[in-house]
Amino acid sequence: MNIQFSLVCPSIRPQFWNETCSSLLDNKLNWEILFIGPLPPTEPLNLNARWINATCKPAQCTHIGFQEAKGEYVSITADDAVYFTPNHKGALDNMYDFIKKFPKAEIHQPSGNPFYNKDKMAYGFRMFEDQFCAETSHTHFLTNDGVSPQLFPFFVIANGVYQELGGYDNRFITGQAENDLLFRIWKAYGSTKNSLCPTAMIWALHDKHGNAGSFRKYHSQDFGLLKKLWIANGSSENLFSQERNDKNIESYINNDAIYTKSQGEVGEWQ
């Protein structure tokens, strides 16, 4: 069976997994969702869902998800996310149509390269976090100079782009590795603020469900690393000048211990 969409996330709140799966049942395309981590499901899972037992840090769990994903497109999600649309269609169906119909670039940089590569750039769901609309309540930009690209909370990329760019940097412990990857996608393949799909939406009730304890504990450290890698003097100068690419990424080594031993910065995980 050809799978169009793979969703991947660390296992943090298994009691909500089937609610997430239920919100995806309206989709006509084929999809899978991978929950990766030490916490097992609390009840039988939907046939499209799979739990992968891994005792490593959360960022590495997401890396495993990218490695295991079989879909044409791969998206990060949260294990308490609910997908919905304004037109009674499946959110993944709408996103898939949006990507396939997205126009090819007509604007060119002085170098002659296309401003974006629609087949390898990142696309985003509209994200509602608790009572807020994420793209307006959060800046989702590292700087306020209007230069850096928008950081989609749950981005979508073609399967294979992750590996092409060296995957996650193993210095991140729980979060922000996805934003580092988004900036590298932007540098390699271009970006456009119009790639946020208006009819594919996600609602995550993190306040109600809890902010996952240890996952949030390392937010400041991970965000500090993100800024160190990309931001110079409070501006986005490094987005253009710094050679942040697959040559200076501390990538994961996919050995037999990838599921059981954390690599790079490990935090409180083994």
Does the pTM surpass 0.85? The reply is yes
Q: Name, of 151-155, 196-200, 229-233, the range with top average pLDDT.
A: 196-200
For residue 38, give both structure tokens.
């030490």
249: nearest Cα among 177, 158, 191: 177
Q: At residue 175, does pLDDT exceed 80?
A: yes
Q: Considering the chain, what is the average pLDDT of its residues?
A: 84
Q: What is the DSSP string of 138-201?
A: S--SS-SSS-SPP--SSEEEETTHHHHTT--BTT-SSSSHHHHHHHHHHHHHB--GGGEEEEEE
Comparing 77-86, 106-115, 182-191, which segment has the lowest mean pLDDT?
Answer: 106-115
Q: For residue 32, what are the domain limits? A: 5-105+113-241
For residue 103, give both structure tokens.
């126009």
Q: Which pLDDT band holds residue 242 (cuts at 50, 70, 90)? A: low
Comparing 37-41, 139-143, 163-167, 205-209, which segment has the lowest mean pLDDT?
Answer: 139-143
Comparing 141-150, 157-166, 168-177, which segment has the lowest mean pLDDT?
Answer: 141-150
Residue 270, domain member (yes or no): no
Q: Which pLDDT band holds residue 128 (cuts at 50, 70, 90)? A: confident
Q: Which pLDDT band holds residue 113 (cuts at 50, 70, 90)? A: low
Comparing 13-22, 27-36, 132-141, which segment has the lowest mean pLDDT?
Answer: 132-141
Residue 252, domain member (yes or no): no
Pairing of β 123-129 and β 132-133: antiparallel
Residue 203, domain member (yes or no): yes
pLDDT in tens, 32-51: 999 999 999 999 999 999 99
Specify the number of domains making up the chain. Answer: 1
- Degrees to nearest 5, angle at CA 125 with 92 and 10: 85
Residue 160, domain member (yes or no): yes
In percent, the amount of the chain with pLDDT more than 90 equals: 51
* pLDDT, mean of residues 119-129: 86
Q: Which pLDDT band holds residue 232 (cuts at 50, 70, 90)? A: low
**CATH code of 86's domain:** 3.90.550.10
Residue 100, domain member (yes or no): yes
Comparing 64-68, 87-91, 193-197, 223-227, which segment has the lowest mean pLDDT?
Answer: 193-197
* pLDDT, mean of residues 141-161: 72
Helix (DSSP H) and strand (DSSP E) numbers for the chain? 10, 9
Q: At residue 20, does pLDDT exceed 90?
A: yes
Residue 130, domain member (yes or no): yes
* pLDDT, mean of residues 192-218: 74
Residue 88, domain member (yes or no): yes
Residue 217, domain member (yes or no): yes
Q: At residue 156, does pLDDT exceed 80?
A: yes
* pLDDT, mean of residues 239-264: 80
Q: At residue 26, does pLDDT exceed 70?
A: yes
* pLDDT, mean of residues 114-131: 81
3-state secondary structure of 82: strand
